Amino acid sequence: MLRLTKKADYGLMALKYLAEQAASGAQSAKDIAEAYHIPPQLLAKILQTLAKSGLLISHAGTNGGYSLARPATGITAFEVIRAIDGPLFITSCITIHGTCDLAGHCTIKEPLRKVNDSIKDLLNGITIGDLIETEPVGQIGAGVPLAGGLVSISRA
């Protein structure tokens, strides 16, 4: 089963929070950790990683904290996940270092590459802006498109 690491999940949650609070200026790691019940030390490391990758701006001083480096609609879920977890590969045959020892005999490499590319494309189509709730929970309209129409949320 494919799943996000806790760090990537927390990173996405933190950027969503920062996007929602953008009008209030920089937000502290403590405020974000309290809002989502995230372990503060772990969140601090994640925010530092995201700042180093250029997705966040770190503000020093008494009123310091973090803010988005770009508009929420310009930061993709894929960028956040890649910054925290590194490159996305669903199998060990698709790596930065090239092919595995079975490359000449493998019959699943190409289909799995297509799956990997599809996941990457989907995550590139979801922005932090898409994660922001514009309607109260439970009030989401039927078929609200997300990720450029690739995903929709329907009321059950």
For residue 145, is it within any domain?
no
For residue 66, is it within any domain?
yes
User: What is the sign, positive or negative, of the torsion defined by CA atoms of 54, 60, 68, 140?
Assistant: positive
The SS3 call for residue 144 is strand
CATH code of residue 14 = 1.10.10.10
Provide the residue range defining the domain that includes 18. 6-86
DSSP lists the bridge partners of residue 117 as: none
Is the pTM value of this prediction over 0.85?
A: no
Structurally, the chain folds into a number of domains equal to 1
What is the rounded average pLDDT for all residues in the chain? Answer: 82
For residue 44, is it within any domain?
yes
The 10s digit of each residue's pLDDT in 53-101 is 999 999 988 888 999 999 999 999 999 999 999 887 776 665 555 666 6
Name the nearest CA neighbour of 41 among 56, 26, 29.
29
The SS3 call for residue 67 is strand
For residue 135, is it within any domain?
no
